[in-house]
Amino acid sequence: MPNEQMTSANTPLSSSGRTYHVETRRGEMSNRLLTVGDASRATLLATLLSKPLFRHTSHRGFLTITGMYRQVPVTIVAIGMGSPMMDFFVRETRMVVDGPLAIVRLGSCGSLRDAAKTGALVVAQSAFGITRNYDYFTANDPTAQLESPYMIWQKVAPDARLTNTVKKELEKVSEVHMGAVGNADGFYASQGRPADAFWDANEGLVDEIRGKYPDVVALEMESHMLFHLASVSTGKDNNQDPSVSAACALVVFADRQGNSFISPEESQRKVLIAAKALLDALVEYMPTQDGLHPSAGSVWESEM
């Protein structure tokens, strides 16, 4: 349940200025943002900060940690899984942070490329959506099954400069696989995983994805929404430069080709290696506070 009274049904902010889902207000989040899905992963990444300054878990499960890294403020946010959670995070962060946003996602993925084994690092050159076509499964409408059971959407590109910076920093510590990343509306059916208990009609889905996008390297669930929102952060009349820059790096947890899964120990090791490189990339991309959210009244005011 929300902890404070909201002042609007359309743009819900509390009487103290907190957003509804993420529950942060002005001065608690920086312009440099590293987002992950798992709250325990965010806690692990926070060990890389030179000085943690703020930590809050919302009633919807968003964990926000802001602190100092290389003398500038950065924010780590665990959002959970799926496109709606990414939507809440990006929109509500935009509500309470002045100036441009640089958002890098660090996630896990299932690899569709033979060379990208468990533990490999992937940087998304583009992302596309994969959604279940619910009409196909309407039992009382046989004409619906003339359509495809899954919709594969057009690619959306990330910010080129931020992505190149991410790639450069990651290549200092590991080989990097580049390519398109598919983003499903679920972990199972829309990623082509078989299930005996459900009619999913997904036996040929992975081949269909490869046929449409031969450069596909992996499947996950969040970067397409992130890239989409960044691309439309151009004001309600679509007449401004984008105010959000986005990039995505992934650690291969599931090798879909070889049917193997990463160990807990290896996943933690690779996530920490990648996270440090991504924090370095965010600082390289935004090296100063010029034009960013003001320090006055912020959780990092005393550090600047």
Closest among 230, 218, 149, 227 to 178, alpha carbons compared: 218
- Between the alpha carbon of residue 95 and those of residues 23, 36, 240, 279, the distances in Å are 11, 20, 17, 23
Look at residue 210 and tell me whether its pLDDT is greater than 90. Answer: yes
Sequence-ordered strand ranges (E) for the chain: 32-36, 51-57, 63-69, 72-78, 101-111, 121-132, 150-152, 176-184, 216-220, 244-255, 260-261
pLDDT tens digits, 81-136: 999 999 999 999 999 999 999 999 999 999 999 999 999 999 999 999 999 999 89
pLDDT tens digits, 233-269: 999 999 999 999 999 999 999 999 999 999 999 999 9
Q: Is 0.85 topped by the overall pTM?
A: yes
